[in-house]
């Protein structure tokens, strides 16, 4: 539902799924007054406030003013919050763009893009600002964007590393100056790692992301980088990294091994990467950026097959939180001249939008108890895929899957586990509502049955499944 007046900001702020504190840093910030923003706009800001966001780089203050002006101008479609601060105290801004910006829509997915994790990889930062602009100005005129925003909450973080960006230089294509945060840590090597203990000291930017994604169940995500043109998918690290702990030579060998590290959802990750690559103006051609740099078949690659790394963000999203994240390398030059930005926007616009819509592919639904109450933290495991997803506090789950027949195991503490078969088709998500029955009640009932009665003979309720159920989200035509 679209709503949102200034009078209701305090109330809806309270309702934000995440962020009492972050909400107060932006929307309820006593230093921030939407009226003040709109009346004190200088010449630059007033141009930014309109639909014609300029194609130029925005420093942190300019970016902050732009985000605030959009949130003031489009209160029914946007919410601005900060998930924390960088080492040097810059806000890590996130703008939600959705028909329900302040409140999670139960049963509908939250998705995200994170830009500029490497401070000198600047194109993604600007493209996210343009994506915000495009979404809010297209909602009333483009049925596809309306469908997307009506059914998805899109969280857009233009810069995860504003300190690194602050020292980066426009026109620098290949160097690493500005890549790290202010304490010289590479933030895309700073996450907990499944394959190898990560001994790097956690940084405030990384901690903020970890907190953020522990509080919102993101279904799908993209991390925007520069320096290549490819969509790279998990795993970034490889199981054999475990045996390399004590051997420098082994580590060196590993980093040049180019061996794929296959995730349980490899088919889905390849598909998601292809959606980005095939909708991009040139990524799918797989042309190398320069002589000697790799060519990528169809513009996609397994992360470890390109080069293995420890502590990356995408593996963490997937293995810790069931969020399917891929790494999008969107510019050969890390920080190209600003006059090239319109070309990058045109090349990536379709990809950025179509990729997010993939959150509506596969199966989703609710796990409830026999009284209709949601079962939180129920474990969802697709047979043959050794990775566990969990339900939210509303009992929701999402599982992006390609067309086919699947079986899932659903289990929750204190409940009898259940196995459910379902199909996934291409054009609609499959709605799966699963009822779990209390193990306690089951056992106490079982005590009263005649000896010799097998527990297995008691019939268990089945799940309701429907790939075309009324009310299911349907992919609209373009
Ligand atoms: Zn990067």
Asked if the model's pLDDT at residue 373 lies above 50, the reply is yes
Long-range contacts of 237-240 (CB under 8 A, 24+ apart): 237/193, 237/194, 237/195, 237/196, 237/261, 237/303, 237/304, 237/308, 237/309, 237/310, 237/312, 237/315, 238/195, 238/304, 238/308, 239/195
The CATH number of the domain covering residues in 363-466: 2.60.40.1120
Distance of CA 39 from the midpoint of ligand 1 (Å): 38
268-318 pLDDT, tens per residue? 999 999 999 999 999 999 999 999 899 999 999 999 999 999 999 999 999
What is the pTM (predicted TM-score) of this model? 0.84
| Joined tokens for residue 96 | 């939600």
Whether the bond into 235 is cis, omega within 30 of 0: yes
Distance of CA 183 from the midpoint of ligand 1 (Å): 17
183-226 pLDDT, tens per residue? 999 999 999 999 999 999 999 999 999 999 999 999 999 999 99
Distances (CA, A) of 252 to 117, 187, 244, 245, 309: 25, 21, 9, 11, 11
Domain residue extents for the chain: 6-360, 363-466
Contact indicator for 304, 292 with CB cutoff of 8 Å: no
Distance of CA 337 from the midpoint of ligand 1 (Å): 18
Cα of 200 vs its chain's centroid, Å: 23
Mean pLDDT of all residues in 374-391? 97
Reduce the DSSP state of residue 207 to 3 states and report it: helix
CB atoms < 10 A from the CB of 135, how many? 25
Reduce the DSSP state of residue 221 to 3 states and report it: strand
Q: Given 329, 358, 413, 419, which residue is catalytic?
A: 329
Distance of CA 68 from the midpoint of ligand 1 (Å): 27
Q: Which architecture, in CATH terms, is 6-360? A: 3-Layer(aba) Sandwich (3.40)
Contact indicator for 118, 452 with CB cutoff of 8 Å: no
* Distance from C-alpha of 153 to C-alpha of 18, rounded to nearest angstrom: 13
Distances (CA, A) of 374 to 23, 88, 369, 448: 27, 42, 6, 28
| Joined tokens for residue 244 | 């390399």
Distance of CA 327 from the midpoint of ligand 1 (Å): 9
Contact indicator for 110, 134 with CB cutoff of 8 Å: no
Q: Is 36 a catalytic residue?
A: no
Q: What is the pLDDT of residue 248?
A: 57
Residue 460: DSSP 8-state: P
Distance of CA 278 from the midpoint of ligand 1 (Å): 21
Higher pLDDT, 34 or 425: 425
């Amino acid at each position: 539902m679209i709503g949102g007046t200034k009078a209701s900001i305090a109330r809806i702020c309270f309702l934000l799924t995440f962020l009492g504190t972050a909400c107060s840093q932006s929307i309820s910030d006593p230093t921030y007054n939407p009226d003040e923003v709109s009346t004190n706009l200088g010449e630059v800001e007033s141009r930014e406030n309109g639909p014609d966001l300029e194609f130029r780089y925005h420093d942190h203050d300019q970016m902050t003013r732009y985000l605030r002006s959009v949130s003031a101008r489009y209160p029914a479609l946007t919410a601005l919050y900060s998930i924390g601060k960088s080492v040097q105290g810059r806000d890590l801004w996130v703008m939600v763009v959705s028909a329900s910006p302040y409140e999670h829509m139960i049963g509908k997915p939250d998705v995200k893009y994170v830009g500029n994790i490497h401070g000198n990889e600047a194109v993604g930062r600007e493209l996210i600002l343009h994506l915000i602009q495009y979404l809010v100005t297209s909602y009333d005129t483009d049925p596809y964007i309306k469908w997307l925003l009506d059914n998805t909450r899109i969280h857009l973080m233009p810069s995860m590393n504003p300190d690194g960006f602050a020292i980066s230089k426009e026109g620098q294509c290949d160097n690493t100056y500005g890549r790290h945060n202010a304490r010289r840590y590479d933030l895309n090597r700073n996450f907990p790692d499944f394959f190898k203990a990560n001994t790097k000291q956690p940084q405030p930017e990384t901690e903020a992301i970890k907190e953020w994604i522990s509080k919102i169940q993101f279904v799908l995500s993209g991390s925007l980088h520069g320096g290549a043109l490819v969509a790279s998918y998990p795993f970034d690290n490889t199981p054999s990294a475990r045996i390399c702990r004590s051997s420098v030579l082994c580590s060196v060998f590993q980093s040049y091994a180019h061996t794929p590290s296959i995730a349980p959802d490899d088919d889905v990750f390849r598909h998601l990467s292809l959606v980005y690559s095939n909708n991009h103006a040139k990524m799918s051609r797989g042309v190398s950026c320069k002589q000697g740099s790799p060519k990528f078949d169809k513009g996609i690659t397994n992360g470890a097959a390109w080069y293995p790394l420890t502590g990356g963000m995408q593996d963490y999203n997937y293995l810790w939180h069931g969020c399917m994240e891929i790494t999008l390398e969107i510019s050969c030059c890390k920080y190209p001249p600003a006059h090239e930005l319109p070309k990058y926007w045109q090349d990536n616009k379709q990809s950025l939008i179509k990729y997010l819509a993939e959150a509506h592919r596969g199966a989703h639904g609710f796990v409830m108890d026999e009284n209709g109450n949601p079962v939180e933290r129920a474990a969802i495991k697709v047979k043959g895929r050794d990775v566990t997803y969990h339900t939210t506090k509303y009992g929701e789950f999402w599982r992006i899957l390609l067309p086919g027949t699947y079986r899932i195991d659903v289990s929750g503490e204190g409940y009898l586990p259940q196995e459910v078969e379902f199909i996934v088709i291409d054009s609609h998500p499959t709605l799966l509502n699963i009822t779990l029955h209390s193990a306690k009640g089951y056992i106490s009932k079982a005590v009263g049955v005649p000896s010799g009665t097998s527990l297995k003979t008691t019939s268990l309720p089945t799940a309701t499944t429907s790939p075309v159920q009324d009310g299911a989200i349907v992919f609209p035509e373009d």
